[in-house]
Amino acid sequence: MPEPLEAVDGYECGTCGHEWLSEPSDGLDDIRDTNGNLLADGDNVTVIKDLKQDGKSGGLKVGTKIKSIRLVVGDHPIEAKVDGRGLLVKSEFVKKA
């Protein structure tokens, strides 16, 4: 699973290269899905939009269920495994199952 790489002044997503600054608060207490439902570690979610991965064919299709998510700090707050691959996903592309 791609882990965020810690830089001198922040973090970088190992999947897409997005960079963000570290924050004093972890911000994990207010991560919401596309419908506004509060997400927590261990929740199951469903993908609401086709998502490409690193320009590879395949990616995640609409309706893919992701079980037992883990919330992480950053722009991509959901860490998950789908078909044995580790992924970081934005919360706006999922809904709570």
Q: pLDDT by residue for the chain (97 residues), tens digit each?
A: 455 554 456 777 767 777 777 654 566 778 999 999 999 999 999 999 998 876 666 678 899 999 999 998 888 899 988 888 888 899 999 999 8
Model pLDDT, residue 57: 64
Quote the pTM value.
Answer: 0.68
Tokens of 93: 């592309």
Length of the chain: 97
Tokens of 33: 């899905």
Q: Which of 56, 38, 57, 47 is nearest to 90 (CA)?
A: 47
In the block, residue with structure tokens 């994990």? 28
Model pLDDT, residue 53: 73
Q: Report how far Cα 95 is from the mean position of its chain's Cα atoms.
A: 12
CATH number of the structural domain 28-96: 2.30.30.40
Q: Which of 41, 10, 38, 42 is nearest to 24 (CA)?
A: 10
